[in-house]
A and B are shown apart, each in its own frame.
Chain A
């Protein structure tokens, strides 16, 4: 086990709704990064939070937003859900940025948008 936990594990939403996904990082890790993984594809970087500040963002629209809390846990919020948002959402924690530190992934949250 990686010590990174995500919730919920599965959820179903309808188009236009909003969703919040949660991630608890491994103890001592101050960085959380989020990824979207469509079926049969590699993960795509959404954004990264370091010490409660966003410090890197991939090619995702503003309706994808996030937060990191003082205990370094994190949330991913997606507004105005679209069918193409259906995917496995992964969070990963690390010490320092994802580029240099080893990443520890959670098991993911499987989102289905109908």
Chain B
């Protein structure tokens, strides 16, 4: 079954600290993996997109890694800010014209 599992479900960290979110998938055949940030009640915003051949990609303080062999990805947030409080959703794409598979997200709260 094509699934995306994210952990932890929720996380609370102090402002300025780093954190890492995990994504494991069983989706096959793999095309690409995406991370989105979704503020409460708003639409998701793309952070990174990685294909099979890419194992790391950065977007400012966000760095995503991909291990296509173990079907795992992580999103590392450096020097967290209050504005990083949001849900982070991992999405895996299979071949063309098949639905994207979304994880349930990790809810991150950054506190002062």
Contacts and interface: CB of A to CB of B under 8 A. Distances in A.
B78 interface: no
Nearest to B43: A105
A108 B44 CA distance: 10
Contacts of A35: 102
Nearest to A46: B99
Q: Is the interface of A mostly helix, strand, loop or mixed?
A: loop
B11 interface: no
Contacts of B60: none
A108 B100 contact: no
Contacts, number: 63
B97 A56 contact: yes
A56 B94 CA distance: 13
B98 interface: yes
Interface stretch (A14-22, A68-76, A77-85, A92-100): A92-100
Interface of B: 4, 31-32, 34, 36, 41-46, 49, 89, 91, 93-100, 102-105
Contacts of A87: none
A108 B105 contact: no
Contacts of A40: 104
Interface residues of A, number: 27
A106 to B, nearest CB: 5
A59 to B, nearest CB: 9
A106 B41 contact: no
A2 B89 CA distance: 17
B94 A106 contact: no
A92 B99 CA distance: 13
A99 B93 contact: yes
A97 B31 CA distance: 12
